[in-house]
Structure 1
Amino acid sequence: MGNVSRRLSRPFKNYNIENRAHREIAKDKPKVAPSYKMKQTQINLVNELEPDYKVTSQTKNIELDNNLKKIYVKSYDNSVPDNNRSEDPERNLPKERLRPELSEFGFYESQEVVKGKISLRQAIQMIDKHSKDPIIYNSEYLAKEYYLEKKLVDYKLHIKL
């Protein structure tokens, strides 16, 4: 519905658009808002002290530039380790820099599972038990073992994987 209304309203939006644009361009520009009195007093003070300040601040001062080229700064920061330092045996750093192996399913598995919920590993074990012996491992038995509702276990076991 939005596309239809947009297509219908477009000609009305674009009607006489060129003339409206020329009219907007031809208008006088708005006046600049007046500055605060304090700003004007600061400008007057700078003009009294140094009349050529605006010109000198925008030009490059060659003498200052040469002085900056002569300066060389070397920083000494103790928090950054130096490459020449020997290893400190008391420092707790990892000895192996390999990534930890992923679990069997490829992501982090929680060790603690809340009652009423099961992990992926438990779900696979539950389906495996039921597929090996559906008489012993029926939905009532599995619901008690994993603290689940019986109707939820019935639903999960009857889904074809």
Structure 2
Amino acid sequence: MGARVVRMFRNFNLENRVVREISKEKPRSAPRHKLTHPTTTDPGEAEISSGAVHQKNDPLLLNLKSVYVESKDETASPVKSLKEVSVDGEAKTRPMRFTLPGDSHSLANVENIPHGKLTIMEALKALSSHQSQPQTWTSQRISEEYSLNLKETKSLLEFFVPFQIQIIRPQISNVKQLKAS
């Protein structure tokens, strides 16, 4: 019943309201900006028409035909090694400290490591040795051993922690424990 009352008020005098809205003067749109031709600095540019662009120019076509381009494939050249030669002539690489047993095609078979870089296995070994013996494996010794920057080594030891295993004992004393053998 409420919907009927609302519909009655909504449709009351609908035609008169529509006629009044239509008879109102519509707002005018803003005037358009007058187009100005772009100024050209070169007088030759103004003379070129759209038809001249699409026509063949025989002297230019002859010049284009006389050009010969010879290309060489850069990928056929041997891949550059990791060795970077410094100004003194000495190599900026170091041999890997140890290798992992495993597949001969794995990524662990890197022979030379650039100065200031570590492999993942060397980083884990250095971090674990520092964690187990911090007095002997100081940041100074690790930076000398692996040819690293001392500041970066200190940051590495401070902010990166290798895996830590924590065994949380249950709080209930009645739980049966497995015996370690």
TM-score by length of 1: 0.33
Query: Counting helix residues as a fraction of each chain, which structure ranks higher?
Result: 1
In terms of Rg, which structure is larger? 2
